[in-house]
A and B are shown apart, each in its own frame.
Chain A
Amino acid sequence: MEIQCPDRESIKKGIKTEVSAYIEAITILGSLKYHLEQSGFECFIEKKIDKKENGYKKPDLLIHSENYIIVDHKYTESNDEKNLSSKIKDIDEYKTTFKLNSIEFTPEVVMLIPKPATESFKTITGCPTTWNYTINGEIIIDQCIGSIKDPKMLSLFKPKFICPKGRELSKYKFILSHAQVPYVACHVYIILWSLQPAPDFFASEFIVDYNQILEHFNNTFPPWVSSEVKQLNATRLQQSLMFLQIIKWIKWIETEKKVIVDKKKGKRIADFLEYFIDEYADQEYMRKMVEYEHKLEESQIKRHPTLDYFWKKEN
């Protein structure tokens, strides 16, 4: 297989797309859950459901109506056939029988996509039932490919399903799915500032107790996906603190459980999410370059082993 040299711009674009996908997923899932529950449906976000045969799945949204409906969010900004087909393939994995609380069911499966992606998906064969959405003051969902059969769910489309954007949305910052480090770092950075002690208003830095960050964040943003899932967990926090430390916005003294925030950093940055994405893309690029060079070296050695190679191997 050909070893591809990493491209910084495509790495950055990939991170950006994933961040956008994550933000839209929270907005849509949060609003749909709230609105559908108000309308008498039972809804679960990222609930683990066992397949009848083997394994399990965690669909974005599982709706219990007259039947079960699985709605999976597939965000894309690309019209590359390979990319779109892989998303359809993901959806196909839901077309099986599941077991939930010893009840067996074969759900209706819906792919949820942003409206601009509709035309691209329409060109791909084997598209499942697909809804597209537009987000504004409300979320407008349209059945753009195929149609669901569940009559109760179908009755919400008149002809479009207009779901009011949940006013509770600003309580939701995370779902279970992997959140990109720049996105988590933004939320951690915001919380750090809110923990600034009053006497440090004019100081050049301030100190925050590490233990306070998790507690404070999870009190401000309590679990919503399910009662046991905290929105900010230790792994997410540590990854983002490490990132913020690399870009020198903070100093994290792990042994003393202290985080020192440098107040001068980021003062003139117009959008710190964009900045974090850019910096993280650099870090990812460097990491991938090291991997690439390593692989390249290995492949060259395989093709042209030198005496040095054998010497190294022996020692």
Chain B
Amino acid sequence: METSFAQLCFELDEYHRSEGAKPLHIYTVLPKIEVEQIGDFARKAGVGAATKKIGDNVFTLEILSAHKKTHAHGWLVDFKSYWIILIQTIESSTVAENMTKRWLERMYPVISRSYIKPDDLLNIMDNLSNIEESKLELRAYILKSFDKPETTKKWPKDTLYSRTMIENTIKSENKLLEGINFVFLNDGTNFDTRMQIDGHFVFYRGGYRCFSNFQRLILSSYNEIALLNKRFFSNRERRQVNGDVEISQIFLKPKEKLTKEHLITLSLHLSTVYSIAIFHSGNPWLSLNAIDRGDGSSFDVYGYTSEIQIVPFNKATPESLMRLYYNITEVFPLATLEK
């Protein structure tokens, strides 16, 4: 019998109602290949993967680490423009999380992480808190910075969601809001989850129809925004029009006046992710080129006192551009994207 996504959600509803339920790691990703090609590409990328179709768009998925010693399994749901990968915890949740994260890194650029902005994340939280007779209890928040590993900070017990409170905290910390742990309580249901801006979710446990509601209220909203984001970063490549070249820059406005030191920090951080050539780093004016060695996209990045400008080259995929944007916001967390 074929398994539909709705049936899979139902099975997960049941499992996560039980006392011994282990966390489920969920990743929404942007594919450039068909599900059937995962195995081949994983081999080329030096990792392993196997899929088996169990429903119209539902597959079982097994992934293998680079040294083939650890593996993880779960499901893959194919929505064509994006996939949802659900990874079960076998022994430890951290092992499942780290292994999948590394596997996804190896699979880039054929599978890319999706991203939303911290503001978008708070918009999803706002929508949840506006649901009648619901309660949103904050558990923790995750901060990221270019120079430090992720840090998780706990909210005091019974802290209710307030956007202003989170925004003020982030401003004072001057770090990137990477994710929020929270419990959603409603008359008919409840669930305990973690939502991150890089498309990683952890689903812990909940009540009646917990996973289905999480999917309906959170996962689908996230994917809608992530696809809009992808559209924003799409078709930015230089193209020739009547002998001239059209360029489509992206502008980021930092909250503070950038100094030479800020711009040097940015170039140092980008050099850990990209191949970069620094053409000018001074007075303060930064001019560099970054090559994404994953898919060959490249960008000119200019930094001025009041603006960061990204100018995509003739090859600039939206996935790569999103990653670059995300990397810049790790250095300037409060910078806003000019539409």
Contacts and interface: CB of A to CB of B under 8 A. Distances in A.
B278 A193 contact: no
A186 B279 CA distance: 10
Contacts of A221: 245
Interface string A121-140: 00000000000001111000
Nearest to B44: A202
A215 B314 CA distance: 12
A186 B289 contact: yes
B280 interface: yes
Contact of B275 (A20, A23, A203, A266): A266
B88 to A, nearest CB: 27
B271 A222 contact: no
A272 B110 CA distance: 26
Interface residues of A, number: 37
A267 B109 CA distance: 17
A216 B315 CA distance: 11
Contacts of B277: 186, 189-190, 271-273
Contact of B315 (A136, A137, A194, A270): A194
Given A137-B304, A193-B298, A271-B271, A201 B243 contact: no
Interface in B28-44: 41, 44
Contacts of A270: 268, 271, 276
Nearest to B310: A170
Contacts of A167: 249
B279 A136 contact: no
Interface of B: 41, 44-46, 109-110, 238, 240, 243-245, 247, 249, 267-268, 271, 275-280, 283-285, 287, 289, 291, 293-298, 300, 302, 304-307, 311, 313-315
19 contacts: A23-B280, A27-B280, A134-B283, A135-B285, A165-B304, A170-B300, A170-B302, A186-B277, A186-B279, A186-B289, A189-B291, A193-B296, A194-B314, A202-B44, A221-B245, A222-B240, A263-B293, A270-B268, A274-B278
Q: Which 3 A-B pairs have the closest CB atoms?
A: A137-B304, A202-B44, A194-B315
Interface of A: 20, 23-24, 27, 134-137, 165, 167-168, 170-171, 186, 189-190, 193-196, 201-203, 216, 219-222, 263, 266-267, 269-274
